[in-house]
Amino acid sequence: MIWLNAVVQGLLLGGLYAIFACGLSLMFGVMRLVNLAHGDIGVLAAYFSIILIEHLGGNPLWTFAAVVPVAALVGYFLQRFLFDRALDGGELSPLLVTFGLSIVIENLLQQTFGANDQSLNIGALSYQSWKIATDVYVGRLNVIIFVIAVIVIVGLQLFLSKTRTGLALRATADNRRAASLSGINPKRTRSIATAIALATVAIGGLFLAMRTSFAPTSGSSDLLFAFEAVIIGGLGNLWGTLIGGIALGIAQTVGSQINAADGILIGDLVFLAILAFRPQGLVGLKSEVAR
Amino acid sequence: MTHLRLDRVTAYYGHLQALQELSLGVDQGEILAVIGANGAGKSTLLSLISGEQAPREGRVFFDDIDITSLAPHQRVRKGIALVPEGRHLFGTLSVEDNLRSGASTRRRGTWDLDAVYELFPFIAARRKHRAAVLSGGEQQAVAIGRALMSNPSLLLLDEVSLGLAPVIIRDLYAALQRITAEGTTLLVVEQNITEALAAANYAICLLEGRVVLEGKPDTLSQRAISQAYFGHDLGPSSKAAS
């Protein structure tokens, strides 16, 4: 039963990783930009939520309604005024700019909030659970996070496959030159991709903050897990990202079951094994790697 | 009325001067063939019109509006569409999504999915397939269809016949005739001179970035064309040798 329990907990944890990862994957797909500040932006969203609760009170759950739209808006203009310029500067510039942004965010947060751990207190929801089998309990919050993760992924997939803007994003991801020659505005498309990425990572950041404690420097490990989820699942494939997140989550919780300190290490090893033996990811196609 | 006008444009391909003070006018409804050897400046000329490159000097006018500083997607909105050399389809997208993406400007006109499928019936059957798995001829048809979906008034075609079988080239050129019947102006860049000249009602030949020969195709002699194309007279003796 302890193994079943580990797998179930890992599955639920994977949902959170998938939320973190889908935006990273989308931005990389549309503009070949690896946003190294992705995790930090999630953490920043969590601190934003803390400020809102301090001043306005109530259960942190309501802050989703404020934080997520603001994150989307910030993403739109961050792309327009910072990332777009970085993309014009060659291959190295976007990495340097997003790495710099990551450092700026971490230090600003330390300066403002100190290095102490914080958490978002959501009351009873944080410890209530359901019993699904003998000795297997699932936290209600974890189940909610997983359900939201699936909704986010399905919603994003529907958006990409059914809407005009989604088509523009897919076309741009496939061939930037042809996209602009087909009348697709590349700036607008990139801004929308980043708006979506920041909105989703804000959701992830808030859930993470409700689930565990966090600190100004938590963003780096979130970024790493998001990366691993994207690679394990396969680039450019949202279902793959969900599967990758789940695989990583299960590897970590099962690893912790083997030896409490080794969970993250086992997750990293699974990631490296995928990279070595199945670089297209669990769901990806071989041809996606060749491109 | 002059639909497209280039006014003494100079452009570079890397460090090389690709076009030298080139002026050019295309009338509404015309089919202009631009021929010339590799490196004559044909592709640079197209990139100036599509907006992928800005001229070092000179201006580009479309319906007498200066479009020199407009980006490619803005020019598509104005009615200029390019079918690029090598087709550049969205390989991971379905044929239908490829066509739909061409309609992102929402320009009104006669071309929609049904009209494109009617023009190229053989791609209608493959609408759900990924564009990457299509044959060369089918891909070229999708590329033309995608450009048509923006309802262009000026359609630019870069090396449409490159790498295709003669029978397919004939079909594609037949389709081009139907496209012009809708009033669309065509600018065809080709190394396949025979097809381009047969379709066009005006032709220019580029050599080292300049127009060295122009006129109605039936008034241009083979000898004048080959001289303009290669930059020197091959002469009767060398002709006999080849």
Q: Tell me the C-alpha distance between B195 and A6, whole Å.
A: 69
**Residue B234's pLDDT band (cuts 50, 70, 90):** low
Name chain A contacts of B81, Cβ cutoff 8 Å: 181, 183
Tokens representing residue A187 in the block: 């700036």
User: Does the beta-carbon distance from B97 to A171 stay under 8 Å?
Assistant: yes
Residue A185 to residue B73, Cβ atoms within 8 A: yes
Quick one: pLDDT band at residue B225, thresholds 50, 70, 90? Answer: confident
Distance from CA of B92 to the nearest CA of A (A): 7
* Three-state helix/strand/coil letters over chain A: CHHHHHHHHHHHHHHHHHHHHHHHHHHHHHHCCCCCCHHHHHHHHHHHHHHHHHHHCCCHHHHHHHHHHHHHHHHHHHHHHHHHHHHHCCCHHHHHHHHHHHHHHHHHHHHHHCCCCECCCCHHHHCCEEEEECCEEEEHHHHHHHHHHHHHHHHHHHHHHHCHHHHHHHHHHHCHHHHHHCCCCHHHHHHHHHHHHHHHHHHHHHHHHHHCCECCCCHHHHHHHHHHHHHHHCCCCHHHHHHHHHHHHHHHHHHHHHCCCCHHHHHHHHHHHHHHHCCCCCCCCHHHHHC
A267/A32 Cα distance (integer angstroms)? 25
Residues of B with CB under 8 A from a CB of A: 50, 52, 71-73, 76-77, 81-82, 84, 88-93, 97, 100-102, 104-105, 132, 146-147, 150
Domain housing B203: 2-89+154-241
Count of domains for chain B:
1
Q: What is the model's pTM?
A: 0.90
CA distance B105 to chain A (A): 6
Gyration radius from chain B CA atoms? 18
Residues of B in contact with A175 (CB under 8 A): 88-91
Residue B79 lies in a domain: yes
Three-state secondary structure of B18-50: EEEEEEEEEECCCEEEEEECCCCCHHHHHHHHH
Confidence of residue B236 (pLDDT cuts 50, 70, 90): low
Residues of chain A falling short of pLDDT 70: 285-291
Instruction: State the pLDDT at residue B233.
Output: 63
pLDDT of residue A291: 34
Question: B35: which 2 tokens?
Answer: 């021929």
Tell me how crowded residue B85 is: count the other CB atoms within 10 A of its CB: 16
Please indicate, yes or no, if residue B96 is contained in any of the structural domains.
no
Which of B104, B139, B142 is the best residue to mutate to test the A interface, defined by the most A CB atoms within 10 Å of its own CB? B104
**B55, part of any domain:** yes
Q: Taking CB atoms and an 8 Å limit, are A171 and B71 in contact across chains? A: no
Quote the minimal CA–CA distance from B240 to chain A in Å.
45
Please tell me which residue, A263 or B237, carries the higher pLDDT value. A263
Torsion of CA B175, B181, B182, B186, to 10 degrees: 70
A45-97, pLDDT tens digit by residue?
999 999 999 999 889 999 999 999 999 999 999 999 999 999 988 889 999 99
Contact A183 B73 (CB under 8 A): yes
CA distance B86 to chain A (A): 11
B84 and A177: CB-CB below 8 Å? yes
Which residue from A minimizes the CA distance to B145? A182
Cβ contacts of B93 on chain A, cutoff 8 Å: 167, 170-171, 174
Closest residue by Cα to residue B34 from B228, B164, B174:
B228
Tokens matching residue B162:
């490159």
| Contacts with A182 from chain B: Cβ below 8 Å | 73, 76, 101-102, 104, 146-147, 150
CA distance A245 to chain B (A): 24
Residue whose tokens read 């949902």: A15
DSSP strand pairing (B31-36 vs B185-190)? parallel
Position A290 scores a pLDDT of 34
- Integer-rounded Cα Rg, in Å, for chain A is 19
- Pick the residue from chain B with its C-alpha nearest to A169: B101
Instruction: Determine the pLDDT at residue A121.
Output: 87
Mean of all residue pLDDT scores within chain B: 91
CA dist., res. B66 & res. B63, Å (int): 8
Over the stretch B80-98, which tens digit does the pLDDT of each residue have? 999 999 999 999 999 999 9
Domain count, chain A: 1
Contact B76 A181 (CB under 8 A): yes
Q: Tell me the shortest Cα–Cα distance from A168 to chain B, in angstroms.
A: 7
Which CATH number fits the domain that encloses residue B45?
3.40.50.300
Selected residue with higher pLDDT from B68 and B39? B68
Residues of chain A positioned with their CB less than 8 A from the CB of B88? 175, 177-178, 181
Whether B18 contacts B209, CB under 8 Å? yes
Q: Is pLDDT at B237 greater than 60 in this prediction?
A: no
CB contact under 8 A, B84 and A167: no
How many A/B residue pairs have CB atoms within 8 Å?
69
Please indicate, yes or no, if residue B160 is contained in any of the structural domains.
yes
What average pLDDT does this structure show over B129-150? Answer: 95
ipTM: 0.89
CATH at A236:
1.10.3470
- Answer yes or no: is pLDDT of B242 > 70: no
Return the minimum-mean-pLDDT range out of B60-74, B137-151, B227-241.
B227-241
